[in-house]
A and B are shown apart, each in its own frame.
Chain A
Amino acid sequence: MKTILLEHVRSRLALHELQDGDGQSLLILHGLGQSSPTSVPSIAQVWQGPIFALDFTGHGQSSVPAGGGYTCEALMSDADAALAKIGSITILGYGLGGYVGLLLFGSRPSEVNGLAIMDGPGLDGGGGQPTSPKLLHVPDDELNGTSPDPWALAELSSDIRPPDYAEEHVGQIQALGSQDKAVAVCSLGRPEWLRAISNSPIVFETQAEQALEIFSAI
Chain B
Amino acid sequence: MSDEVRTIRAAQPRAQRPDRMRRVDVGGLELSVLEWGSEASQPILLAHGGFDFAGTWDVFAPLLASRGLRVIAWDQRGHGDSDVSALYTWEADIRDAAQVIKSLRLTEPIPVLGHSKGGGMLNQLAEVLPGHIKAVINLDGIPNERGFSNQVDRSDIHALDGELKGWLDHRRRSAHVARRADSIEGLAERRRTMNPRLSVDWLKYLVTVGARHDKDGWRWKIDPTLRFGPSGAWRPQWAIPRLKGLRLPYLGIIGTVKEEMGWGTTPEEAFPILPTGAEFHALAETGHFVHIERPDDVADIVGDFLQRAL
How many residue pairs link A and B with beta carbons under 8 A? The number is 117
Residues of A124-169 contacting chain B, CB below 8 A: 130, 132-136, 138, 140, 143, 151, 155, 159-162, 165, 168
Q: Which of A63, A138, A168, A176 contacts B27 (CB 8 A)?
A: A138
Stretch at the interface among A45-53, A74-82, A209-217: A74-82
B242-A65 in contact (CB<8A): no
* Alpha-carbon distance between A98 and B218 when the two chains are bound, in angstroms: 43
**What interface size band does chain B fall in?**
35 or more
Least Cβ–Cβ distance between A202 and chain B, in angstroms? 14
18 further contact pairs, Cβ within 8 A, besides A9-B174, A65-B87, A172-B160:
A10-B86, A10-B175, A10-B225, A57-B87, A66-B29, A67-B28, A69-B77, A69-B85, A72-B232, A77-B168, A80-B168, A106-B164, A107-B164, A107-B165, A133-B127, A138-B27, A155-B89, A171-B157
Q: How large is the interface on A (under 10, 10 to 19, 20 to 34, 35 or more residues)?
A: 35 or more
Please tell me if the beta carbons of B85 and A67 are within 8 angstroms of each other in the complex: yes
Please, how many angstroms separate the alpha-carbon atoms of A28 and B225 in the complex? 26
Nearest 6 A/B pairs, CB to CB: A66-B28, A69-B87, A65-B86, A10-B86, A107-B164, A69-B92
Assuming A66-B27, A160-B233, is B157 touching A176 (CB within 8 A)? yes
Determine whether B171 belongs to the interface, using a CB cutoff of 8 Å to chain A: yes
Interchain nearest-CB distance for B154 vs A (Å): 6
A2 near B: Cβ within 8 Å? Answer: no
| CA A29 to CA B20, docked complex, whole Å | 47
Given contacts A171-B157, A175-B157, contact A77 B86 (CB under 8 A): no
CA distance A138 to B154 in the complex (A): 35
Q: Are A168 and B154 in contact (CB under 8 A)?
A: yes
From B29, B124, B161, B225, contact of A67 by CB (8 A): B29
Q: Give Cα distance in the complex from A151 to B84, angstroms.
A: 17
Q: A84: CB under 8 A from chain B? A: yes
Residues of A within 8 A of B157 (CB): 171-172, 175-176
Q: Are A68 and B172 in contact (CB under 8 A)?
A: no
**Given A84-B172, A108-B165, A133-B128, A65 contacting B85 (CB threshold 8 A):** yes
**Chain B residues whose C-beta falls within 8 Å of the C-beta of A11 in the assembled complex:** 86
A68 partner, pick from B92, B98, B128, B174, beta carbons under 8 A:
B92
Measured CA separation A171–B174 after assembly (Å): 28
Please measure, in the bound complex, the distance between the C-alpha atom of A70 and the C-alpha atom of B233, giving whole angstroms. 13
Query: Is there an interface contact between A67 and B238, defined as CB atoms closer than 8 Å?
Result: no
Of residues 84 to 139 in B, which have CB atoms within 8 Å of A's CB atoms?
Answer: 84-89, 91-92, 94-96, 98, 124, 127-129
Bound-state CA distance A181–B293 (Å) is 55
- How many Å lie between the Cα of A71 and that of B85 in the bound state? 14
